[in-house]
Structure 1
C-alpha cells in the first residue's frame, strides 16, 4: 500500500504539470455548444463557453499547484525556522516568536485571506495567506519537538563531542524532525491549494480564458444540470490532489506501521492462557529475524524468555502483541488468547487495551517528558483510579506523594522503570509483558518487583511474560524459561580483567567539594573523588540517589551548586560549552537510555563516524572505514552499520552508543549502566574491551546496580544518605 502511494505521488505531479501537453483540444478555444454533455468526441462534455472540459482539467492544475507549492514551501520554511529558533533558544526569543504566532492565530483566517486578496495580486495573496495561516501552526509544532530534542541523549552526545549549535541543529535536530517538517509542508500545500481554488471561485484570480480548476467551478455551477461534469471534474481534480497530499502527510508522520499477520490455517489450540505456534518474523529484505517461535503460558504462570542481545526476544514479544515496527512483518504462525486468535489492526489495539499491560525495554522513552508522574501512571484513565495509582507506586518503593507532580524527565532510570511498571499494573491486566524490567534497578527495588511478580504467580487468572538477561532473576520468578541462546553459546561469566591501574599512574580527573541538586532538592555531596589513568571505579547506590547526575555533572551536562573539577591537574570548567576542544574530547559520557541516545534519523555508520571526523580530523571516507573496527570492538556485527537505531535491540543500541564515545579517543569514560541491557556474554565482552583500553590509560567511572560488574572494578563507591562513600572491591582486597 505504501509503495503504491509513493508511486502515485510521483505520477500525479507529473500529470498535473505536464497534463496540458496531452489535451485533445486547445483549452482556451470553443469547440462546441456550451454545456454539451459527455459524448460525441468530448469525454467530459463542454463548459459554459463551449470549451472541452477534459482539456481544461488537464491544463488547469499547473498554475494552481505551482502557486500552492510556492506558498507551502514559504510557510513551511518560516514555520520550521521559527520553531527551531524558539525551541532551541528559549527565553525572550521563544516568547517573541510564539507571541507573534499566537497573534496571527487569533485573527480569523478568512478575514486575513480577504484582506490580503484585496491588497495583493492573487498569487501573492495566496502565498501571504498561507504563510499567515499556516506558518504559526508549524512554528508551534516544531518548537515543541525541538524542545524535546534539545534534552535528548543524542543532542547531549553531540554537545559532548564539541559540535557547534548550528551543526547540532542541522545534523541532529532537523533530521529527527524531518517527518514532522515534511508533514507540515504537505498540509500547508493543501491549505494553499484550497485558498487558491477559493480565490478562483470568487473571481479573484486568473482571467476567464485561463484554465484553472477554481475558476472552472465558478463558471460552470450555473450549468450543472446541463453538464454536471463541467463542475464535477475540476472539483474531483482538486479533491484527488488534496487527498493524496493528506495521505502523504499521514505517511510521513507515521513511524510505525501495522504488522501484516499471516495466520496458519489451523487455529490455535484451545486454552485459557496465551498460545503461540510457529511464529516467524522477517525484515523488509526477507531476512528471518524470528523463526518457529512457540510458547505456552497458562493462567497463573510466569514465563521468562532469555538469550543474547539481538537474538529476537523483543521482536518475538512485539509480534505476539501485534506491535512490530516498520520494516518487520510476520511471516507465519498463530497467536491465541483464551482459545481465540488474537485479532489484527484496530481490533488488536482494543484487545491490548482490554487485556495487556506492557513495560517496554526503554521505559524512559515511553514516558512523555512533559507529563507528570501521576498523569503517566493514569495514562488517560478515569480520575477515580488515583488512590490505586498512588498505592501501586508505593508498592514499588516510590514516594508517591513526592513524585506525583514531578515531570517524567526528572526521574532517574530506575524510577522511570518503576513508573512504567506501575502504569502497566494499575488495572491488574490479565496479560503482563515485561521487557527487561530489572535494568537500572538497585537490589532493594529489584526485590519489590520480584514480590509483585510472585503475587501474580499462581493466582489462577493472569499470565506474565518476562524478557530478561538476568538469569538469577528469572530463576526466582519464572515457572518456565525459554532460552533463545544459539546452541554452543552458553552463558559467560564476568571476570576481573586486570589488577588495577598501572603502578604509579597519575591522577587524570579529580573533584573536590562537589554539591549536586535538582532544583531545591539536594542530591549528593562529594568531598573528594579522583580517577587515575587506567583505573576502573564503580558507583553503586539506590535509584534516584544522584549517581547519574554525578556523571552528567562531570560530563558538563548538569550544573553543580558548588565544587571544583580538574583534568590532569588543571581546573576544568563545569559547563560543557566553556571547555576547549581537547577537554571535550577527553571526557566522554554514555547514558543509560540507549534509545534516546541515538538519533533515530541517522544510520549507525553516521552515528559512529561523526566523532572521528570531528575529534580526529579524518576524512569522511577514513571515518567510514574505521566504523567496522569500532563496531567489532564492542561486539557488534559491522553489517549493523547500515541500520537505524529503531532496527536494533536495546543491547545493540547501548553498544553503538559506547562505540560512538570511544571513537572520540577519550581519557575518561563516564558510563551509566552500560551493561544493564546486555546479556552476560556481551557484558563480559564490553568489560574486556574496557580492560584493553585501560591498559592504554583510559580511566572509567561506571554507574551500575550489577554486583558482578562492580566486583570487576578497582574501587567501588557507594551512595548512602547523600554521601559518596568509598570502599575497595572484594576482588582487589584479596
Structure 2
C-alpha cells in the first residue's frame, strides 16, 4: 500500500471511529426532549432541535453508533462471500465456475429493492442489512474477482508457482490473492456504501431502530416535515451519511491506484547523448529539450533529455536496460506512471509548445500512436483481434484486414481470437497494427521486435520505411536490437546510465538433497512422438526431442508455430494430445500434479512475458526466496541469504531485492525471472526469449552465465528469434511443417547427436 492509500485508510478509520464512538461526546441525552420542536440553532443547541424537541447535535453524534457497525458487518460478510466465490469460480473454472456464476447471476436478476424489503420484514434490521448487502453486493464481487483470477492464473508468476508444485490453496493465498487484493479491496469498500444506504433506507421507512433511539435514517424520516423550520435537523444526518460514503469511495479509489512507477531507472539519472539532437537546417517536427524526471522521493531519474526530429525521421533510442529510455519518452508524451513526474523540460510540436495536462492529452489523441513494451498487456482481453485493431475513427474492416496482412498475420484466422490465444509475436504485431492504422504523425515503438521472427521483423521494417517515405511522419524506436536499429534508424540517441552490475561468475549454491547429475552418455530430457494442438489446430505432430546434460539447444521458427507451447508442455503446464517423456532416463508424467518434487525442481521455465513474470504484490526477494524454500528445502533465513547472490549472478544490483516488479525495467524483470528459475538449481532450463528485452552487452553476459551453468551439467532449451543467440547453441532446431527439424544454422555447432 502506497502513501496515498495509507492516508485514505487513516482518514477512513478516523471517520468510522467518529461515527461509532461519537455518542460518547454528546452534550445532551439524545433521547431527551430539551426544547420546542424544530427550534432553530442557538447557543444551547448548535444544530437546533428535532421533531420531539431533542438536541440534533447529540442525535447526530450518536446516530451512527448502531448503523455504522451494522454496515461494516454487512461489508465484511458480503466481501468475504464475493472474494471466496470469485477465487473458487476463477480458479476451478469448468462446471464449478459455471454453477457459482449462475448462482451469482440469479441473485443479480432478482429485483434488489424487493429482496431488501422482504428481508427487512422477515428479519431484524441489522440482519436484514447484512443479508441484503450479501444478496446485492456479493454477486458483483464474485464476478469481478473471478475475472481477475482467470487473468492471474495465466500469468508467469502463477505458472511458476504451479511448476514448484504448490497447492491450489497456496497459490490462491500467496500469489493470486495478493495480486488482486487492491481491486478486490476497493470493490469490498464499495459494498460499505451499499450497506450504508440500505441501513439508512430501512431507517427512513421505519424498519430500523425505533424512536427515541438515535439513527441517521430515522432522523431523515422524522424531520422531513419540519425542514422549513429547522433545515439542520434534516441536513445534518444527510451530511453524515454523505461524508461516510465519500470517504469510502476515496479509499476505494486510492486502493486501485498503481502504487509504484511503471518504469524506473538506475539510482543515478540517465542522460541522453548522441547525434539525434543534431540540426540539419530543416524545420523540426518534434523537439525535446532539458527534460528532467524525478520520482516521488525527489531522486533524479532522467536529466537533460533532448532530441530533435525532422519530417520523415526515424530516431532510435538505445541504452542499457534500466537506463530510463522508456521513462524519457513517456515524460515527453506526458504519460508517466504514478510516482514519477516531469519537473523540467520543454516539448515542442511543429513549433508550438505542448504543455503537460489537457494540452498534452489533446496532442496525443490527434497526433500520437504508441506501441508499449508489453503489447499483450495493452490489448483488451475481452475483445477479438478485429475489434481491437479496428477501434477508432476512419477504420474499416477492409483496412484492418489489409494492415494485419501487411504485418504477416492471417486476418481470417485471428479475427475473433482474444489476446490470450495469441503468441507473443502475434500480440506484438496486432498491437503494432492498431498503432499504425491510425497513421499517427508521431509513432512511438517500445521494443517492437522483442517477440518477432526474422520474417515478421522484415515486415515491421517495411512498415517503418513506408512512414519514412511519406516525408511528414516521425518515428521513435526504443530498442536493444542493434541490427534492427542499424536497418531503420536515421539517427541514434543513446541514454547513458551507471554501469550495470557484472554477471557473477560464482558457482551455484549447493542443494543439500540433490543427487549426482547423470552421466554424459544419458539424455537428461527426452520426448517422443509428441503431438501438440491448440483448439482444432495442430502445432506439432509426431515429433521428438532429446536434450543432453550441459547442452544448449536453440529452437527457431515463425511466430505462432508452437515454440512456447512446446516449452509449456515439457514443463507440465499443459498436456499434449500424445507423446512420451523421460527425465534422466525415467518416465515422467506430463501433468504437473503427477510429477515428484525432484522432477519439478529439475525442470524450470522462464516465460516470454517479462511484464507478467513476477507478482506485482511481491518484492523481488520474496520471488527469489520462494523456490529455494519450496524446491531447495532451504530455511527462510538461508533462502533469503541466497537472494543477493542470485541477483549478482544475472547482473543485477542486490539492492533491487527490496523493489517490486513495477519499479523495474522490462530487462530487469526478465533477469529476475531467470534468477527465480535458477534458484531451484534445475537440471533443465526451458528459456523462452530470455534476451528479448536486454541490450547487447547484458545479453552477451547472460549467455556467458548459461555457459558456466552448463559446465556444471545444466541443459538449456532456448526459444529465440535472434540468430546471433542461436549461433551460440550446440544444436539448432527449427519448427517447420509441424515438426522439429535440424536447422542448417546449427549444423556447424552440432556437438552431440540425439
Class of the TM-score when normalised by the shorter of the 2 chains: over 0.9
Q: Deviations over 1:440-465 (max 9, x none)?
A: 11111111111111111142221111
Counterparts of 1:74-223 in structure 2, within 5 Å, are 74-223=77-226
Q: Assess if the C-alpha contact under 8 Å between 1:443 and 1:705 holds in 2.
A: yes
1:250 alignment partner, one of 244, 250, 253: 253
Q: Assess if the C-alpha contact under 8 Å between 2:518 and 2:584 holds in 1.
A: no
Counterparts of 1:628-643 in structure 2, within 5 Å, are 628-643=644-659
Counterparts of 1:334-483 in structure 2, within 5 Å, are 334-345=346-357, 348-379=360-391, 381=392, 385-483=396-494
Separation of aligned partners in 1, 2:586 and 2:382: 39
Distance 1:340 1:256, change over 3 A: farther
Shift of residue 217, structure 1, vs aligned partner = 0.8
The 3-state SS of whatever aligns with 1:460 is coil
The 3-state SS of whatever aligns with 1:514 is strand
The 3-state SS of whatever aligns with 1:296 is strand
Distance 1:258 1:148, change over 3 A: closer
Q: Deviations over 1:353-393 (max 9, x none)?
A: 222111111112222334211122123x3585211111111
Unaligned runs of 5+ in 2: 263-278, 504-516
Q: Deviations over 1:10-48 (max 9, x none)?
A: 332232222222222222222322211112232211112
The 3-state SS of whatever aligns with 1:371 is coil
Distance 1:372 1:615, change over 3 A: same
Distance 1:128 1:347, change over 3 A: farther
User: Relative to structure 2, which stretch is displaced further, 35-44 or 127-136?
Assistant: 35-44
Q: Assess if the C-alpha contact under 8 Å between 2:284 and 2:308 holds in 1.
A: no
Separation of aligned partners in 2, 1:117 and 1:526: 66
The 3-state SS of whatever aligns with 2:396 is helix
Q: Which residue of 2 aligns with 1:66?
A: 69
Shift of residue 235, structure 1, vs aligned partner = 0.3
Separation of aligned partners in 2, 1:56 and 1:565: 74
4+ residue runs of structure 1 moved beyond 6 angstroms?
Answer: 256-259, 487-492
Distance 1:488 1:566, change over 3 A: closer
Shift of residue 435, structure 1, vs aligned partner = 0.2
1:14 alignment partner, one of 3, 17, 23: 17
Q: Assess if the C-alpha contact under 8 Å between 2:317 and 2:479 holds in 1.
A: yes
Shift of residue 526, structure 1, vs aligned partner = 5.2
1:325 alignment partner, one of 337, 340, 348: 337
Shift of residue 488, structure 1, vs aligned partner = 8.2
Q: Assess if the C-alpha contact under 8 Å between 1:430 and 1:461 holds in 2.
A: yes
Q: Deviations over 1:176-217 (max 9, x none)?
A: 111121112111100000000011111111121222111111
User: Relative to structure 2, which stretch is displaced further, 269-278 or 670-679?
Assistant: 269-278
Shift of residue 544, structure 1, vs aligned partner = 1.3
Q: Which residue of 1 aligns with 2:707?
A: 691
Query: Are 2:681 and 1:672 equivalent residues in the alignment?
Result: no
The 3-state SS of whatever aligns with 1:222 is coil
Separation of aligned partners in 1, 2:674 and 2:640: 17
TM-score norm. by structure 2 comes to: 0.91
Q: Assess if the C-alpha contact under 8 Å between 2:563 and 2:719 holds in 1.
A: yes
Q: Which residue of 2 aligns with 1:495?
A: none
Separation of aligned partners in 1, 2:578 and 2:328: 48
Distance 1:490 1:106, change over 3 A: closer
Q: Assess if the C-alpha contact under 8 Å between 1:711 and 1:731 holds in 2.
A: no
Q: Which residue of 2 aligns with 1:266?
A: none
2:295 alignment partner, one of 283, 302, 314: 283
Query: Are 2:307 and 1:304 equivalent residues in the alignment?
Result: no
Q: Which residue of 1 aligns with 2:533?
A: 517
The 3-state SS of whatever aligns with 1:112 is helix
Distance 1:488 1:40, change over 3 A: closer
Distance 1:383 1:462, change over 3 A: closer
Q: Which residue of 2 aligns with 1:587?
A: 603
Q: Assess if the C-alpha contact under 8 Å between 1:534 and 1:700 holds in 2.
A: yes
Distance 1:491 1:661, change over 3 A: closer
TM-score norm. by structure 1 comes to: 0.94
Q: Assess if the C-alpha contact under 8 Å between 2:8 and 2:254 holds in 1.
A: no
Distance 1:564 1:176, change over 3 A: same
Shift of residue 311, structure 1, vs aligned partner = 0.5
Q: Assess if the C-alpha contact under 8 Å between 2:667 and 2:693 holds in 1.
A: yes
Q: Assess if the C-alpha contact under 8 Å between 1:512 and 1:529 holds in 2.
A: yes
Separation of aligned partners in 1, 2:211 and 2:626: 57
The 3-state SS of whatever aligns with 1:173 is helix
1:535 alignment partner, one of 540, 551, 559: 551
